[in-house]
Amino acid sequence: MKWVYIEDIAAFNDQEVEVRGWVYNKRSSGKVRFILVRDGTGILQTTVFGGDENHPLFKAFDELTQESSLIVRGRVREDKRAPGGFELSLQDIEILQIAKDYPITPKEHATPFLMEHRHLWLRSRKQHAVLQVRVEVIKAIRNFFDDRGFRLMDTPILTPSACEGTTTLFETKYFDQMAYLSQSGQLYNEATAAAFGKVYCFGPAFRAEKSKTRRHLIEFWMVEPEVAFATLEDTIELGQDLLMFIIERVLTHRRRDLEELERDPKPLEAITKPFPRITYDAVVPKLQDKGSAIRYGDDFGAPEESLISELSTNPVCITHFPAKIKAFYMQPDKDRPDLALGVDFMAPESYGEIIGGGQRIHDLDLLEKRIQEHHLPREAYAWYLDLRKYGSVPHAGFGLGVERTVSWMCGIKHIRETIPFPRLLYRIYP
């Protein structure tokens, strides 16, 4: 008998097939019994009819518990009463293992309990849907850049020095010296961009910040494109196209999962190019009018991010930040050197910053000056300075946070559900 996956079951109507999976739930109404079988691709209702108590199928049914592993065989039948429209009339149940006392029941549980059982929680419907969206988002990102001629250039995770901040790095021993887990691949991207023109890196980033909010993970995934000869303008265009592409893909391929998550697709469908742009100088008074206590020169907090997202149903691009609150490598505006050519994309619906980027300094003297001003060890940046010595060109890029994007797509509150095994401030198990 042919082994098929539940997501393909419609193609096998009225045929005898085999499904390998786990018991999601079972129900009984005396002489009619139902097993909901999940196989990783979906959930299928299987039925056992009539017969007497000693029928082998009934005996097997009675033995089964939630999450027991099994192979079922039978005929696929279209039936409106079955969730999904198809069910399997069972001829055979082969039990692989009886699961004893599966901790996650089909009833309510609190988050701490579920996080403690994250390895099992992944089997639940909603978690499954969120991670399916994650898969789609990642695939969309890869396709977007690959199809536009970007070269995937993996950047190192073990690095000899700080990229941006210095107090938020994970330290580890590297034989007889110290190394740090990467917070960003950007500096290395600048080197590969000079070698390959347009590149992107896609990997985990580590921040030892003691952040305890629904928008932070200690370990998160980030995609970072970098383009030689590109300006701030070009990088805004690129970020905009990328987000449009991701949204379109999720809406096309993962509509079922959005339904499972009760995510209203309308706010996503309403997003159109171009995204509104507003400078930092212009947005601060608007925020103050809306009641924010922000002062010129402050960076945005969560309340400001929410207020900005109220400005439009599209993501909003904030540009030209005070150079002081941005990273040392940000290119200054040529008319207003106190402003940095950076951009932050704020997602709608209060999902906050999902993209941060901008144009990098390409002038050697200016970069040297900034490294000094920021008290960074010059030796560690020798290779980075080389990029400005040997054929320096303007260049720009950004970083997109995968988990923040996925929580926005899914309309879920907490970022911890958007990665299979989240690393949080007070949780590294499982």
Q: Among positive and negative, which fits the CA dihedral 97, 100, 105, 106?
A: positive
Measured from the CB atom, the residue of 59 and 336 that comes closer to RNA is 59
Q: Output the DSSP codes for 30-95.
A: TTEEEEEEE-SS-EEEEEE-S--TT-HHHHHHHH--TT-EEEEEEEEEE-TTSTTSEEEEEEEEEE
Q: Rounded to the nearest whole angstrom, what is the least distance from the CB of residue 4 to RNA in the complex?
A: 19
CB 315 within 8 A of CB 327: no
Query: Cα 84–90–95 angle (5° rounding)?
Result: 105
Measured from the CB atom, the residue of 168 and 288 that comes closer to RNA is 168
Say how far apart CA 19 and CA 295 lie, in whole Å.
62
**How many other CB atoms sit within 10 Å of the CB of residue 421?**
13
Measured CA distances, 239 to 199, 263, 334, 401 (Å): 14, 24, 23, 12
Measured from the CB atom, the residue of 302 and 393 that comes closer to RNA is 302
Q: Rounded to the nearest whole angstrom, what is the least distance from the CB of residue 207 to RNA in the complex?
A: 5
Say how far apart CA 299 and CA 280 lie, in whole Å.
10
Measured from the CB atom, the residue of 241 and 386 that comes closer to RNA is 241
Say how far apart CA 327 and CA 370 lie, in whole Å.
9
Q: Rounded to the nearest whole angstrom, what is the least distance from the CB of residue 389 to RNA in the complex?
A: 26
Q: Rounded to the nearest whole angstrom, what is the least distance from the CB of residue 222 to RNA in the complex?
A: 5
Q: Rounded to the nearest whole angstrom, what is the least distance from the CB of residue 212 to RNA in the complex?
A: 4
**How many other CB atoms sit within 10 Å of the CB of residue 102?**
15
Measured from the CB atom, the residue of 52 and 335 that comes closer to RNA is 52
Q: Rounded to the nearest whole angstrom, what is the least distance from the CB of residue 176 to RNA in the complex?
A: 29
Q: Rounded to the nearest whole angstrom, what is the least distance from the CB of residue 228 to RNA in the complex?
A: 21
Say how far apart CA 309 and CA 328 lie, in whole Å.
27
Q: Among positive and negative, which fits the CA dihedral 285, 291, 297, 298?
A: negative
Q: Rounded to the nearest whole angstrom, what is the least distance from the CB of residue 250 to RNA in the complex?
A: 18
Instruction: Supply the DSSP symbol for 140.
Output: H
Measured from the CB atom, the residue of 115 and 366 that comes closer to RNA is 115
Measured from the CB atom, the residue of 136 and 224 that comes closer to RNA is 224
Helix axes 125-147, 232-253, angle to 10 degrees: 140
In sequence order, what are the beta bridge partners of 401?
222
Question: Which residue bears the tokens 């739930």?
Answer: 25
Measured from the CB atom, the residue of 278 and 415 that comes closer to RNA is 415
Q: Rounded to the nearest whole angstrom, what is the least distance from the CB of residue 383 to RNA in the complex?
A: 21
Measured from the CB atom, the residue of 112 and 149 that comes closer to RNA is 112
Q: Rounded to the nearest whole angstrom, what is the least distance from the CB of residue 300 to RNA in the complex?
A: 6
Say how far apart CA 164 and CA 91 lie, in whole Å.
62
CB 58 within 8 A of CB 89: no
Measured from the CB atom, the residue of 39 and 87 that comes closer to RNA is 87
Say how far apart CA 272 and CA 244 lie, in whole Å.
8
Q: Rounded to the nearest whole angstrom, what is the least distance from the CB of residue 111 to RNA in the complex?
A: 5
Q: Output the DSSP codes for 294-339.
A: --TTPPP-HHHHHHHHTT-SS-EEEEEEEGGGS-TTBPBPSS-TTE
Measured from the CB atom, the residue of 394 and 399 that comes closer to RNA is 399
What are the two backbone dihedrals, phi and then psi, of residue 163, each rounded to the nearest 5 degrees?
Answer: -95, -60
